[in-house]
Amino acid sequence: MLVAITRGVSARIGACELTHLSRNAIDMDLARAQHRAYESALAALGCRVDSLPALDDLPDSVFVEDAAIVLDEIAIVTRPGAESRRPEAALIAPVLANYRRVTFIQAPGTLDGGDVLRLGRRLFVGQSGRSNESGIEQLRAVAWPYGYTVTAVPVRGCLHLKSAITEVAPGVVLVNPAWVDASAFGHVTVMGVDPGEPYGANGLLIGDRLLYPESFPATSRRLEDAGVDVVPVDVSEIQKAEGAVTCCSLVFSAQE
């Protein structure tokens, strides 16, 4: 059984942290409807959705991925790079304690879950504006005893590593080559986003199906032509907050 932890859309999402996007008005009713549809898609893909209540005093809190990294053996609660987001981590910890032993990234380390891409037993961590060397080293110290390697990867021009690359099928990654060098990821099959869709590298692989934004039709066609089973979802309002499909959930095995 897969668990997908989600959290409702904050009433203050319009005040979210933005780094690479201009601020545009977010339609709250539509954002919430899109998020409910996203949760329904997760359920249809076989996840048991653990939907947490919205935190209206924390604008970015819908993006639960950034607050934790859940491995098979342990959950690592992060210390987000944006100071305004750090209360989110403390609030996700007791939820994760229902599923895993929990450990924490400590100051001066910073680490956003959106910077961590798992490919099997390999963890790649973006050297971004949100994750620093201390945070990466702390993750390495926690993960190494369980047989994971941790590799730091430079990113440029985007918020997180998973803005630039995600796994879209077993052993296949979708990359924006302007933002990350695909050669850093070793023996994988590399697909590029359509040049007109630079934000199209973020997809959420669940089993053998890919939850993927409707906003990137040209890249979606590339994926389908390559045999990827694409499940489209509309997250246009969430995208205005510099979010994507991986950001809005923590998906992992319940290990029951």
pLDDT in tens, 58-86: 999 999 999 999 999 999 999 999 999 99
Confidence of residue 213 (pLDDT cuts 50, 70, 90): very high
CATH of the domain at 67: 3.75.10.10
Residue 255 has pLDDT above 90, yes or no: no
Domain count, the chain: 1
Active site residue 247: yes
Dmax (CA) of the chain: 46
Residues contacting residue 8 through CB under 8 Å, at least 6 positions apart = 32, 35, 51, 52, 53, 54, 62
The beta-carbon contacts of 226-234 under 8 Å, at least 24 apart in sequence, are 226/169, 226/172, 226/191, 227/169, 228/168, 228/169, 228/172, 231/41, 231/44, 231/45, 233/34, 233/37, 233/38, 233/41, 234/34, 234/37
- pTM as predicted: 0.97
Q: Which domain holds residue 217?
A: 2-253
Q: What is the mean pLDDT of residues 116-145?
A: 98
How confident is the model at residue 117, as a pLDDT?
98
Nearest to 96 by CA among 3, 8, 206: 3
Instruction: Categorize the per-residue pLDDT at 256 as very low, low, confident or very high, splitting at 50, 70 and 90.
Output: low
Taking a C-beta distance cutoff of 8 angstroms, is the pair 136, 128 a contact?
Answer: no
Do residues 143 and 116 make contact, with C-beta atoms less than 8 angstroms apart?
no
Residue 172 pLDDT = 98
> Residue 110: which of 94, 86, 144, 142 has the closest Cα?
86
Choosing from 47, 158, 247, 248, which is the catalytic residue?
A: 247
Q: What are phi and psi of 236, to 5 degrees?
A: -60, -35
Quick: pLDDT tens for 10-63.
999 999 999 999 999 999 999 999 999 999 999 999 999 999 999 999 999 999
Comparing 142 with 256, the larger pLDDT belongs to: 142
For residue 125, give the 3-state DSSP assignment.
strand
Of 20, 160, 187, 248, the active-site residue reads 160
